[in-house]
Amino acid sequence: MRSRVLRLLLKKELRDVFRDRKAIIMLVLVPLLIYPLIFFGSFAVMTMIQSSMEDGKYDVIVDVDDGGALMKQIAIYNTDKASKDKDSSNKDSEEQIEAVYFDKFLKNNDYELANDSTETKRKLVESILQDEAADVYVSCEKDEDGRITYITRYVSSITDSNYAEIIVKEILDDLSDKEMKKSIEDAGLDAEAITHPFGIERKNIASNEQSAGSVLGMILPFMLVVSLLMGTMYPAIDTTAGEKERGTLETLLTLPIRNHEMILAKFLTVALMGIISALLNVISMGFMIFYLVKLVQSEAASSLGFDLKSFNFASFLPASLVTILAIMAFSLFISAVTMCIAALAKSYKEANNYITPLTLIVMLTGYIGFIPNIELDNRMAMIPVANICLLVKNLLLFKANLGPTAIVLLTNVIYAGLAIMLLSKIYDSESILFDEGRGGLQLFEKRSNIVAGGTPTTGDAWFIVFFVMIVYLYVGSILQMNYGLAGIFGSQLIVLLLPLILAFYTKRNLKKTYSFKITKLTGFAGSVLLFVGAFLLENIVSTALYHFFPQAFEDTNAGLLDILGGHNFWLALAVVAFTPAICEEMMFRGFILSGFRSKYGKWTAIVMSSFIFGVYHTSLIRLVPTMMLGICFAMIVYYTGSIIPAMMMHCLNNAIAVVEMYNPGWVEANFPLIFGGESSILGSIVLTFISVVIIFAGVRLLQMTARSKVKKTA
């Protein structure tokens, strides 16, 4: 690595970022100026509204026959309220609740009761409340024993009416307590001893620092991940799509610099901006919290459970240091991801559209810090975004463990490294960097203007990915829940027909799009070997995951068993094995894979289509095993040029699952080495080695088939 070149490139990228007004606004002005203005403005408005409501005057209509008990209690409330207001402001206060009997209210206002029927009276009361002539109407009913039930009518959508009803409810509660004590005393008993038979004393053994950490642990992680995303988003767009839009990327690529030097300089710039933005957000938020607590110190401290006078800020120093490391690790990850997404765009506007889904995902995942009883264990430590939120939360609660903490930091660095590798692939591909229209969506073009032939564009493929997913999730789920096995068949038709309709509309060559051809014997043999090896490896991974998530696997299997229950074995085999082998292969290894191959490189197209294949099966626990099989099927199609072997292997894989569901234990009994649930570590290692050897042999046969195909074409 030439350090001088890297320094010059880093300096250039930093200068470009700081020249961009949008980046500076998001980096500096938003955390240091706009957030505080929003916070203090909102706090001032809320304070003003609360003060206005507390000092407001409310009209209450009383229509009860209780000997004046409610009116007396309202008078007591007004007297107590006036006394408190006088003590706090040294000025006289008017009655807050202006209560008037119903008959008197009608005389003083332009309302008339046509007759004494209950329905007429109810409609009149509703009209009075809706017109805001009064805020609350109180009536009562008496049972056979003379017990009174007070009924309050109000309009919750009107602020004054809603707040007045809360006050009336408090007054009625006080009246209830008063009457209860009077009844007990009239019986010659001790009211206090009966209503409070024992005392309660609460002692919180959490330290001031733990109490403060529990509050900050919900807010700070979310603010950190969002601020890091916002801080990296605009620099990432500017250094990738922005450079394309300005036309300076071509010039940069002509300089005597290496691609990895340019990418590393851009990456370090974006990561540094993210760290700066996060730290500024933390400082800004810390100032706001400190100001708020100081402003209402006596009340806030007691309500939050800690005392600022004895608060030891130094105890948070270790947590702060590890949090800074977490910020740096997450900044590396989110910077690499945002750059990968933005690098696919041709303009600032397009990049913003691409990053919007990422923003939603990060924000929704960041809410995990608000959910109680979710612990940071070794499994959660590997989930992006969620692991950082839980780590920071645990650090503030002083209960972070070394193992999960190390996993969180390490996995974020690994994920960042993988994203950087993908970014380097993007910058090595001119077809991605300088898209010349090959990836455009042709759905909305006139059919007469579309040139017949060829395979789908990348835009067509991505449209199908999202459109079919939406239809599949909503319509397919309803079909499966309501119609069982027939619903599975219907959802598979969705997967088959929607891409096929688009292929017909855009005049695609169906033979090329779906790779309809017969492969050679060597291609078929290589497909079988590759599938067997991938199947063994997938089973090893599934077994390992089962040890960590047994309940998730059992729930998934139970759901399919519920659908298959009571159906004929051969019918289930046709619907679950044969139908998906045709429908899913035609969509994922046909339409989508051919669309991705029109723009992306071989492995990018294979991995992306396989990942989408895993996502479509809507099982997080089965994502990796399903993706592994998807890669196997995609490699078969790529090397043989035929989708038929992939369909056959897909059918065989699903058929094994159906056989196991209808004959539990049969597969394990006949193939104990492969499906044995209690295999040893040594056995797993040996089986992994065997599967890798079989995969290697299958790939070699497939490569031979591909080379012979090229020679024949030449």
Query: What's the pLDDT band for 298 if we cut at 50, 70, 90?
Result: very low
| Nearest-angstrom CA–CA distance, 540 and 542 | 5
| Over residues 648-662, mean pLDDT | 87
Task: List helix spans (H) across 367-438.
Answer: 386-396, 402-428, 430-433
- Reply yes or no on whether the pLDDT at 650 is more than 80: yes
**Residue at token pair 């094994």:** 656
pLDDT score recorded for residue 601: 78
pLDDT score recorded for residue 680: 62
pLDDT tens sequence across 333-361: 888 888 888 887 778 888 888 888 888 88
pLDDT score recorded for residue 15: 77
Tokens (6 digits) for 692: 């890798």
| Over residues 432-439, mean pLDDT | 54
pTM: 0.62
Q: How many CB atoms lie within 10 A of CB 183?
A: 11
pLDDT tens sequence across 448-491: 778 788 888 888 888 899 889 889 888 888 888 788 788 889 99
Query: What's the pLDDT band for 497 if we cut at 50, 70, 90?
Result: very high
- Reply yes or no on whether the pLDDT at 581 is more than 90: yes
Burial of 292 by CB count in 10 Å (0-12 exposed, 13-18 middle, 19+ buried)? middle
| Over residues 284-312, mean pLDDT | 57
Phi, psi of 152 (to 5 degrees): -105, 130
Query: What's the pLDDT band for 306 if we cut at 50, 70, 90?
Result: low
% of the chain with per-residue pLDDT over 90: 21
| Over residues 269-294, mean pLDDT | 74
- Reply yes or no on whether the pLDDT at 217 is more than 60: yes
Q: Which of 197-211, 345-359, 525-539 has the highest mean pLDDT?
A: 525-539
Q: What does the mean pLDDT of the chain come to?
A: 81
pLDDT score recorded for residue 383: 84
- Reply yes or no on whether the pLDDT at 286 is more than 80: no
280, 31 contact by CB (below 8 A): yes
Range with lowest mean pLDDT among 320-324, 369-373, 428-432, 702-706: 428-432
Query: What's the pLDDT band for 134 if we cut at 50, 70, 90?
Result: very high
| Over residues 155-180, mean pLDDT | 91
491, 580 contact by CB (below 8 A): no
Query: What's the pLDDT band for 307 if we cut at 50, 70, 90?
Result: low
Range with lowest mean pLDDT among 111-120, 347-356, 430-439, 458-467: 430-439
Q: What is the DSSP string of 320-375?
A: HHHHHHHHHHHHHHHHHHHHHHHHT-SSHHHHHHHHHHHHHHHHHHHGGGGSTT--
% of the chain with per-residue pLDDT over 70: 80
Query: What's the pLDDT band for 659 if we cut at 50, 70, 90?
Result: confident
Range with lowest mean pLDDT among 158-167, 305-314, 343-352, 527-536: 305-314
| Over residues 422-428, mean pLDDT | 75
pLDDT score recorded for residue 373: 77
142 SS3 class: strand
| Nearest-angstrom CA–CA distance, 126 and 120 | 10
| Nearest-angstrom CA–CA distance, 151 and 138 | 6
| Nearest-angstrom CA–CA distance, 228 and 101 | 60
Phi, psi of 148 (to 5 degrees): -90, 135
Question: 612 vs 302, which has greater pLDDT?
Answer: 612
Range with lowest mean pLDDT among 252-266, 319-333, 454-468: 252-266
pLDDT score recorded for residue 152: 94
Task: List helix spans (H) across 507-592.
Answer: 510-513, 521-548, 550-564, 569-573, 579-584
Burial of 219 by CB count in 10 Å (0-12 exposed, 13-18 middle, 19+ buried)? middle
For residue 141, give the H/E element and its range: strand 136-142
Question: 145 vs 496, which has greater pLDDT?
Answer: 496
Inter-helix orientation angle 644-662/521-548, to 10°: 40
pLDDT score recorded for residue 583: 95
Tokens (6 digits) for 1: 């690595």
From the list 494, 488, 644, the residue with the least C-alpha distance to 575 is 488
From the list 381, 370, 384, the residue with the least C-alpha distance to 338 is 384
680 SS3 class: coil
